[in-house]
Structure 1
Amino acid sequence: MRRAPTLAASTAAALCLLLTATACSDARGSEDNEPPTVPRGLTVEAGSATSVHVMWNKSTDDVGVSAYLVYRGNTKVKEVSGDRHMVDVTGLTPKASYAFSVRARDAAGNVSPVGEKVPVTLLAPTADDREAPTVPTGLTARGAGPRAAKLRWDAAKDNEKVTAYDIYQRGTRIHSVAGYATSTLVTGLHPGTDYTFTVKARDAADNSSPPSGAVGLTTATAPASGAGPGSTAPGDFEVRARAEGGAYHLDLSWEPPETGGAVAAYEIHLDGRAATTLMWGGDAPEGRAEHSFFVTKERGRTYRVKLRARLPDGNWGAFSAERTVTTR
């Protein structure tokens, strides 16, 4: 004889169904459908006759970026983890021209739109070049806030030409710059941490010099308080108010910080608060930068103005000196 379920059993079954339905609803509600932002600040440097160094700024995501996809034309050639923002692409054809781009992907598989395509032409090969460049000398390192370090060195020499400098941290290559550079900003470091850097010179035939002398530093444990030698802050910052068409605009100009990569974005603050974000992408000026924007129609308004750059690792750098300007 089949018995009717007891009240307790019925209640338990209903509660189980309710919990199951709620769990399913929560799972559906927590689906990640938002893709990461487009990687910006892409730079591509030909390090030799057969390789390029690709570097970009960190993307953002509502949950987190899990990987970056690097494309040569429309073909994916590299995939790196979300905590990396640079990679070498090898096996290319000497003197050939390519265009590279990067997309970001999150753990749910959402992929950002493709970033700007940056062209590059490989170097000419050097026949039977087996002579490595000389060792870079005079390496120095200075802290640039809690997450960055400014490195400088004296140029190496080569029987043909130095085409790249590779920066190493305890024997692991973490960065590369063009052969004409003798300084760079290494970002993505941890506050209050000991680091040891060396530099090697490389030529078009991929011959590498022995490492330079090692130099060490300990990053700061607190945020940088402002500009200074080796700072990540924009330099020589100037502001003036300009009247035009019954309105006032602010004209800004500054020297970009030396980051070892393109500065794709700046955050401009008025009176201590973020007012606007200037996005340049791959069109960031190489020299002194300028920007103008509307502020008010009122005469006699005084503003305090400063700005900071987004570094290649995605963190904001130190603020520039603050300037005061009045609409007249």
Structure 2
Amino acid sequence: MDAGSLDGVRQRFRGHVSVTVAEARTVQPFFARSAAPQIHADVVVLSDATLDELVSDTQQVLTFKAGARQLDDLREGAVIISGRGAGFARRILKKIVLPQGNFLLDTLPVSLSDIIEDGTLIGGYATAGSGTEGIARVLSLGQGVTLANRARPLGASSEFNVDVPLNAEETSKITGKINVEWNPEFAVDFRLGSGLKEAELLVNPTVRPDLSFVKGPEDIEKEVLFDLGVFELTPFTIQVGFVPVVVVPTVKGYAKVSAKGGVQVNFASGYSLQGSYGAHYRKGSGWDGVFSTQLDGNFTPVGAVKIEGELGVGVYMAMAVYNVIGPFIQVGPYLRATGELNTASETGLCKKFRADLGIAAKVGGSFKVLSWYESKLELSLIDKVVKNLVDTQSSSCNDTTPPLSPEGLNAVATGSRTIELSWTPSTDEGGLRGHQVERDGVVVALAREGKHVDASLQAGHEHCYRIIAVDLSGNQSLPSTRACARTSATDRTAPTVPAQVTATATSTTAIHLSWQANSDDVGVIGYVVSANGKRLRSLADTSMDIGKLTPETNHCLVIEAFDAMGNVSPPSEPVCVSTLPPDQAAWTMQLGCVGRDHNISRNIDLDVDGASLVNVTGEAIDYSGSALAYHLHGSYEPSTHVLDAQIDWTFSNSTAVRMDRFTAQLSTDDTGPVTMTQVLKTGCDANIRFVQNTR
């Protein structure tokens, strides 16, 4: 068949073009070992009986009914975990128990490294028979097995109908169906004394779009993203032992179209993606992308086609561990069509046309759910044309003019196995086929736009790149200037110890902490702050305000620095400081029934200078002389000095919970009585008043 003749084009499109292409990377087995998980000694797994007594969970304050089980085990400093539903994992900061009444636990989220001391967890999602509930499945991967040949669990499929008009007259539209299967996998390995050793997060999607594009007589000039609809699916759970991993899936179709000419355009595209996409973490090496792609595709035009466009489907999957959103994986197969052809007749005009299948995938988000020593990740796995479906031009074409040379090539190593390239895309009057990526003198990819991810490299090696633009006639531009980058080597060197740590009590319940920025051979990316031997928070800054502390209490603070490879510095020397005594609190809070003297007067700090969220717990005495506990929580707007908050009350000798909402203006030294609105009514209407104290 003569691919350059129009007769050849007619012959080619009597059926549809179908191809299969696979691209796979060999990866290591899940982990070097598999061992039963062991939890830390201070971890308490909440029983179903205890969870049945949970009354509320508001801003990390848990209220349990009187007589709840495991009360003695729920001590301050312990980590409590719940596997019910989305679950939660918290460390208890404060415990308030009322005689014959409810009890409150003021808590702080923790990561898996606070729960698992040693061992591995490996799980996937599968359908149980013909049902829809997910079941845990242990997966294994032998040495040297590629992801493409990997046994995968089967996930429930979802099908969506698409009918999206592209103009007001609805003469141009995209119609069809999208079918998606998910199949996520999750695995972690913790080592005794050193924390997270390895982790792997994957989604193994099957995506089958079957879409048609119809253009009416009007031009479609817009080169913008046409939203085919966002389909929020019901989250499902991988129950991996005692760890519930909630998967939040989303499907988003898109079309980027520029079609011209008075004739109608009608073409159908169908393709099927099966692959594996995700990231693998190894301590000392950091995060690397892992992926495998297999694409089947077809492209069937009818009549005249003159278009510059792209049809694709974005599959987005976020993972939440213990109800905290963590990493995401995004996969986007697409079909790109460029040029002009006519399957019905020869016009004597030059007609060049190309249709390609491609794939873009990335992984990112926060990994704090796995370890306090998190490394936020934005890692592109693949973004390139994988296979050509149609590449033809009519015999009247005589284009010998090459495209302009690409400019501004930049190469940046983003890991031990990955280099990301970016450049200013070239242009050509007859249309571009793409940009050839040349690594060390060898063409390794055809990129669709001004970016490419080279993700199959070795650690500690330098590579040099050039970009060459190719038009639809096959003409090549002059190469771009060369850009080089070296992948990072395996790093076992810990950052230096944080220095110049200072701590100052700023209120009865808060301490301000600061320290000098650290040095490291590859760069410090964060710090972990611990108080009295318990981790509180990880952050990238060199200062923080620590709140929700107990008045007039000594707190010893240490800082650890960590780099992108998971290496952790020795802790700084402890710096100890006491919070201010209660009589130095900034405010006196008065509470009482409307029309009566207030019966509660408490010195409190709202700590509005250190945070926009207000979260205060405490104890007091009711009119009857019995004990009560309160949780004041809400938000503070510094620009207007407005506190919008709620108080939750619980009382001794009762399982009832009362809730009052209020808005107070804190710009003066006395708010005056502010009448609150009862959300859960248990008694009289109440006032709240804030009087500023003089320190």
TM-score normalised by L of structure 2: 0.24
Q: In proportion to residue count, which structure has more strand?
A: 2
Which structure's relative contact order is higher, taking Cα pairs within 8 Å and 6+ residues apart?
1
Q: In proportion to residue count, which structure has more helix?
A: 1
Q: Which is higher, the Rg of structure 1 or of structure 2? A: 2
